[in-house]
Structure 1
Amino acid sequence: MRGNKFTYTTVLAAHVALGIAVFAAPLLSKVYGFLVLIMGTVLLLNTKNKNNEALVLAAYAVGSEVLLRMTGGNLVHEIGKYEVLYFLILGMFYTGFSKRSWIYLFFIMLLVPGVYIGATTMLDGVNVRKAIMFNILGELTLGISAIYCYQRKVTLEQMQYIIKALALPLVSVLVYLFLYTPSIKDVVTGTQSNFETSGGFGPNQVSTVLGLGMFCFLALLMMYSKTRKEQLVHLGLLLIASYRGIVTFSRGGVFTALAMMAVFFFTLFWFAKLRTRNFILRLVLIGFVLGSLVWSYSVIQTGGLIENRYANQDARGREKEDSLGGREQIAGTEIQMFMDNPIWGIGVGNNKGYREQLTGIVAASHNEITRLLAEHGAFGIVALLILIVTPLFLYINNKAHLFLVSFYIFWALTINHAAMRIAAPAFVYALALLNVQVTNDDKNTLHREPSVPPQTE
């Protein structure tokens, strides 16, 4: 047991060092990205996916995607999604998949007509392959991830390795962000999403992964912290991720994290015994206090501008005309595209060009729901219904999956403000389809109270 704890501490320290290294020498980011792929392949070939190593490796690829993007470490821009596909397909080669996952094979087939229409009607001057892959790769990643995860049995204790794999690269992201912008006061001048506080990368995507990190660190704190030291580390990471998520000035990731955490607390409360319920209520109260302190610190560091941002005001305190940064208008054009082409849609990859012709606005979609409708028409409606209904149907007989609803909410909220620009919403959606089993060790995990001092070994 001591060896395991030491190993986890060492891995955490290694990811702190990684954040420092890629900031000091950006070339190391490419080395890191290459090693993730090579070492993951070696591990999977050696283990033959006996313990769902493919799932852990895919989770790590998801967690490292934004780190690699912000530090220039990607060999290919969308390599995070390609790695998820690669690890999971290789994993299925060894351990197969459920025959009942045919529903997600059908989901993938529903996308084919839109791809064909897009490929044959693309505007002149547009790179057809790039346009189609940019717009379809997120759905393809979701479909393959869902086929792998559908009713695949994992224990509640094994879920910790998936969550840790998602969270560990985000430790490096946090270190990098602090090195990139040590003083928030010096770079915040308005209420728009801030690239400087987001490591020079897209605030929306950074906010999204930090929001996911907030939930992961909370889950590790509540469920899988076996010592006081681990509790303090996870609590500290939760608070730091919350602060850095807030000061990106991109609200979507923070709101999504709060929704995930609220549902997680409710789920734990619902299934807990009376004594544990009282303990959970105390934790919620403590959470409000700590959250208020993080918010207050953020207000001080931003000179009060973060309050304006969340109140939908500009730097002078004036109400903004739109509350979602123009996303309403973009989504509106996509609904119009669907109304004009309700059966077949306009085709994958035509969204941006069609919008420019329709309104003069040059912008990519931020909403995966309206984009599905616009590009796939009636086929998009059926595909969307599959995505919405299936996890909820599975939950009826999968109550041991304590994270299911939170994962589902992450997908549902994220695709409404950040589409599927990164692999996280596609992969996390698939995690909601896992069939979580409770063992005797898992029961001990469920009843452990994180603030109870660890026993002497």
Structure 2
Amino acid sequence: MTSSAQTERPALRFVCAPSLFGSEQEFPALAAFVFVAIHAVAIPFIVSYPTAAAVHAILTAAAAILFSFAPAGRKWVAYSGAYICGCEVLWRMSHAPLFWEFAKYAIAGSMLISLMSGNVRRFPALALTYALLLLPSNIKTIAALPLDRAESEISFNLSGPLLIAVATVFFANIELDARDFQRIFIAFLGPVAGLAATVERDILGQTKIVFSTESNPLLSGGYGPNQVAAVLGFGALLAALLLVYGARTTALRFALSIVAILLAAQSALTFSRGGIYCMAGALLAACAVLWRDPLYRRGIAAFALVAALGFAIIGPALNSFTSGNLAERFSDASLTHRGDLISEDLSLWAQNPLLGVGPGMAKAWHLTGLAAHTEFSRALAEHGLFGLAALVVLAILAWSRFKDARDLSTSAICAALLAWTFLYIGANAMRIAVPAFVFGLGSATFLPALSGRFQLSYSDDEVRSIH
């Protein structure tokens, strides 16, 4: 697609560079549809059988590790990581006989093998610094608990930061074009479609649902609403980003709009507000960056119109289905228990300023006995000043990646990914692998096929005429 601009020198023209769906990087719509449809049909059956879910998980992790040994397999490791992120909640939901942090270690392990098997041209030292700063306080957990429990608490709380460090280094050594981003997004959307289908099946199978204004496991497949809502909301975000970034055909725009709206609606129906809030915050961050380019404003306006129409149609229906409780839930601005947990975490930090109380130990001091829901306060309570330093390093990492973005398109993608990450860990710590993977993805090198909305272009005759 080419547009002309009038200048003082007619030899100069502006050429619209390929967007995420550019003509040089055609979106494999049929393959994507088949992939998503297969998962929407198969996943509800797989998660009904813990053994089948475990086999699926092990085969998926094995494939990721095999890709990591291949000389040209680094991109396939990225695709596999996105797929595992989409599957993690499904495996947990199925009660598959897997250790809790299986997905995080599968992704981190395949990335580490890939890095060791190939060239490492860039090594973001801050990523390693971030992870190392969280280690000194481990001594407190080890001293306070039996070794097996200490190992479990450390693994639960530090597997997320470990994956952030590994994913940041991994993606710093990979170059992604438009087709690669499409594949990463679709690799995640496949299992998320399966998650949505599973949740919907369980809702339809309920003989009676008693609605309230609290998160409801009956509306999230019988599993934790916070995690289910977050994954569904992130899926809606990816579909929306693909839409805003220039889907070329009306059919594709329509399909992506439907996917985004349905996933967002399913996320809202869990009554966990985080999924919608994180998605909306990430979209606003991307749109704020893209709005500076007039050519993107039309796409943003179109998406906003579609979103408004979707909300106007689906919102009242969902609210009626929930007897009015959904609107009441989302009109409630309270932090539920998070405000109390943050206050208690800050009190613990004041009492243990240097090392904190150790990873996993803060919940013993919480009145509710709950683990921290906010990574920022958790880092302070359990890691002390070292945790504060780690958070500062993480913020510097994020800012440097955003600042180094080549152009508006890249900046918008980084803004969306980083905003979603920080919003999620601010509400749910690092319960799942997605935020760590997404943070790392922001460190990837975007090739010109993705970056750049405009480029200057001259024909040979025009170059000669200029000279």
Q: Which runs of 5+ in 2 are unaligned?
A: 1-24, 456-467
2:86–2:189 Cα contact (<8 Å) kept = yes
Q: Which runs of 5+ in 1 are unaligned?
A: 313-321, 447-457
SS at match of 1:403: helix
In 2: Cα distance, 1:442 partner to 1:109 partner: 33
Shift of 1:386: 1.0
- Tell me which amino acid in the other structure corresponds to 2:225: P
Report matched runs for 1:258-277 at 5 Å.
Answer: 258-273=280-295, 276-277=296-297
Which residue is 1:12 aligned to?
A: 36
RMSD: 2.6
In 2: Cα distance, 1:231 partner to 1:63 partner: 23
- Tell me which amino acid in the other structure corresponds to 1:410: W
Shift of 1:36: 0.9
In 1: Cα distance, 2:169 partner to 2:230 partner: 24
Which residue is 1:397 aligned to?
A: 404
In 1: Cα distance, 2:402 partner to 2:340 partner: 35
Shift of 1:414: 0.7
Shift of 1:176: 0.5
> Per-residue displacement from partner, 1:92-127 (whole Å, max 9, x unpaired)?
12334344411111112111201123212x146981
TM-score between the two structures when normalised by the length of structure 1: 0.86
Which residue is 2:270 aligned to?
A: 248
Shift of 1:68: 1.1
In 1: Cα distance, 2:209 partner to 2:257 partner: 27
Shift of 1:279: 4.3
1:123–1:350 Cα contact (<8 Å) kept = no
**Structure 1 residues 195 and 3: alpha-carbon distance in aligned structure 2, compared to 1, 3 A threshold:** closer
Which residue is 2:329 aligned to?
A: 309
**Structure 1 residues 279 and 7: alpha-carbon distance in aligned structure 2, compared to 1, 3 A threshold:** closer
**Structure 1 residues 124 and 78: alpha-carbon distance in aligned structure 2, compared to 1, 3 A threshold:** closer
**Structure 1 residues 129 and 238: alpha-carbon distance in aligned structure 2, compared to 1, 3 A threshold:** same
TM-score between the two structures when normalised by the length of structure 2: 0.85
Which residue is 1:158 aligned to?
A: 180
In 2: Cα distance, 1:332 partner to 1:325 partner: 13
1:410 aligns with 2:420: yes
In 2: Cα distance, 1:109 partner to 1:24 partner: 40
**Structure 1 residues 310 and 328: alpha-carbon distance in aligned structure 2, compared to 1, 3 A threshold:** same
In 2: Cα distance, 1:352 partner to 1:202 partner: 18
> Per-residue displacement from partner, 1:28-54 (whole Å, max 9, x unpaired)?
222221221223333443x43445221
SS at match of 1:344: coil
Which residue is 1:53 aligned to?
A: 76
Which of 131, 134, 141 aligns to 1:118? It is 141
Which of 56, 64, 78 aligns to 2:87? It is 64
In 1: Cα distance, 2:165 partner to 2:66 partner: 25
Once the two structures are overlaid, the 10-residue window that deviates more, 406-415 or 186-195, is: 186-195
Aligned residues: 428
1:291 aligns with 2:311: yes
Report matched runs for 1:28-427 at 5 Å.
Answer: 28-45=52-69, 47-50=70-73, 52-73=75-96, 75-120=98-143, 122-123=144-145, 127-150=149-172, 152-182=174-204, 186-223=208-245, 225=247, 227-273=249-295, 276-312=296-332, 323-355=334-366, 360-398=367-405, 399=407, 400-401=409-410, 402-427=412-437
In 2: Cα distance, 1:187 partner to 1:23 partner: 22
In 2: Cα distance, 1:107 partner to 1:227 partner: 43
> Per-residue displacement from partner, 1:355-397 (whole Å, max 9, x unpaired)?
3xxxx43111101101101111111111101111222122223
Once the two structures are overlaid, the 10-residue window that deviates more, 48-57 or 332-341, is: 48-57
Higher relative contact order (CA 8 A, sep 6+): 2
1:52–1:91 Cα contact (<8 Å) kept = no
Which residue is 1:449 aligned to?
A: none
- Identity across the alignment (%): 23
SS at match of 2:446: strand
In 2: Cα distance, 1:445 partner to 1:66 partner: 40
- Tell me which amino acid in the other structure corresponds to 2:111: L
- Tell me which amino acid in the other structure corresponds to 2:349: F
